[in-house]
Amino acid sequence: MEELFIIADGEAVAAAQSTAAQTTTVQTVSQDGASAQQANQQAAPAGGLMSMLPLILIIIVFMFFVSRSQKKQQQRRTEALNKIMKGDRVITNSGVYGTIAEVKEDSFILEIADKVRIEITKNGVAAALPKEGEVTAEKKDK
């Protein structure tokens, strides 16, 4: 009868074995098994990182497109604010309608009623309203 005990560090101990060849074969198999187990443990962290790589790339591409669109939108808004001149009708962020009476470096003097003028920052203007008789792109489509 043969009994084989395998110790955790990969060495094999044979008790009551009939031949030395069987002992050598068992030790070789146990050492190869230990090597394979060590290789699997070392490969696991790299495999985890590689599985996360597509997700990381998707996030980076998404952030690029979002920041690019925000930059374009901010550029269009700045151009629109710079085109506003004296006499243009505008609406402020707070919903006040008025006519530009004076353009300053970083603000507008807005006339909201006869002889009633307020000063607002350029960022306070939500949009320039089309002049009377001017056709906008939205109205052309309808």
Decide which of 3.10.20, 2.30.30, 2.30.29, 2.120.10 is the CATH code for 85-132: 2.30.30
pLDDT per position in the chain (142 positions), as tens? 555 555 544 444 444 444 444 444 444 444 455 555 555 555 555 667 788 899 999 999 999 999 999 999 999 999 999 999 999 999 999 999 999 999 999 999 999 999 999 999 999 999 999 877 665 555 555 5
What is the phi/psi pair of residue 110, to 5°? -110, 125
Neighbours of 46 (CB within 10 A): 9
* Pairwise CA distance, residues 131 & 128, whole Å: 9
Give me the pLDDT at residue 49, please.
Answer: 78
- What residue segments make up the domains of the chain, in order of their start? 3-80, 85-132
Entry pTM: 0.51
The pLDDT of residue 16? 42
Q: Which amino acid is at 11?
A: E
How many beta carbons lie within 10 A of that of residue 96, not counting itself?
14
